[in-house]
Amino acid sequence: MATVQSQPEMTEGGPPPLAQGTPERRILRSLAADRGAALGASYILLIVLMAALAPLLVKVSGWGPYEFDQSAVDPDMAGAPLGAWGGAGLDHWFGVEPGSGRDIFARIVYGARVSMLIAISATALTTLLGVVFGLLAGFHGGKVDWAISRVMDLLMGFPALIFMIAILSAIPAGNRAVMLVVVISLFGWPYLARVVRGQTISLAQREFVEAARASGAGGAAIVFKEILPNLRSTIIVLATLAIPGYIGTEAGLSFLGVGVNPPTPSWGQMIASSVSWYSVVPTYFAIPGAFLFLLVLSFTVLGDRLRAVLEPGGAP
């Protein structure tokens, strides 16, 4: 019964406006009608496909991400790519890396895997932690709330980036991707949990929760059947808006040299190694830079529009 009230604020002033079709349909339709959201979603789909089909694409383009092609670089020019545009052409679609001659297209395609995998896993873990702790704190109140809130204060008071780098550089090498996800989520969940906690507190006092309690529902049933469904749109919006942040964080950490280990390609790492070449081979930083920028932009636009559709009257 509670799922109907997907917009808690609106029910105060009377019944919510009748929407045509299911809520999901309505949301999808209004997003598709928005040019920015549609463009963003298409680009994200493109990158997801690219990441998923990476081995296939690399077969078509002819060069793998770890193959060195010394014939594409000029040993007399300190390994600068031969030809204009960083050596781009039919052989190497996006050109080659200076020095090693590795194919940039292949590294972009495989880098998309790293980027998407880490950002989406981190978002999933953050959302899980944020929802669980937010619900616990908001629903139980008292000491549980106090303890969780203090932990959140502490984590949010930390200089997160510096601390993430510190942890990642201190821990001896292991599975970097998993560690990145854990470290990003460790500092990310309080932002979601804080919102979930606040909404849980206000939802717990609403009449439908009281009614459920009066009809004998237990704590777990109230949380999962009454409160959680009402938090759905908030969680979707916050998660979508978290993804671009995590993509940026992963790239930034890889840029600083504490992200995924080379030779595994990552966009941030590619940009880091392009720094010393920026004046000679500008395509070397421009290509991964553009892919990264557009991906973050697409998720941000999509998240913005989703919020506008799901939470009218919410924050900008």
CA distance 68 to 114: 21
Reported as type and span, the H/E element at residue 73 is: strand 73-74
- 174 near other proteins (CB under 8 A): no
- Give the pairing of strands 80-81 and 73-74: antiparallel
Q: Which of 16, 153, 211, 312 binds other proteins (CB under 8 A)?
A: 153
Residue 164 Cβ vs other proteins, minimum distance, rounded to whole Å: 11
Nearer to other proteins, 203 or 272 (CB): 272
- 133 near other proteins (CB under 8 A): no
Nearer to other proteins, 220 or 315 (CB): 315
Residue 280 Cβ vs other proteins, minimum distance, rounded to whole Å: 9
CA distance 156 to 308: 26
Angle of helix 54-61 relative to helix 104-140, nearest 10 degrees, comes to 170
φ, ψ of residue 96 to 5 degrees: the values are -125, 160
Nearer to other proteins, 223 or 245 (CB): 245
Convert residues 282-311 into a mask of x (bound to other proteins by CB under 8 A) and - (unbound): x--xx--x--xx--xx--xx--x-------
Q: Which residues contact 67 (CB under 8 A, 6 or more apart)?
A: 102, 103, 106
Which residues in 262-281 contact other proteins (CB under 8 A)? 268, 271-272, 274-275, 278-279
- 161 near other proteins (CB under 8 A): yes
Amino acid letter, 205: Q
Reported as type and span, the H/E element at residue 81 is: strand 80-81
Contact between residue 192 and residue 130 where contact means Cβ atoms under 8 Å apart: yes
Q: Which of 10, 120, 167, 236 binds other proteins (CB under 8 A)?
A: 167
Site residues for other proteins per CB under 8 A: 153-154, 157-159, 161-163, 165-167, 169-172, 244, 248, 251-252, 255-258, 268, 271-272, 274-275, 278-279, 282, 285-286, 289, 292-293, 296-297, 300-301, 304, 315-316
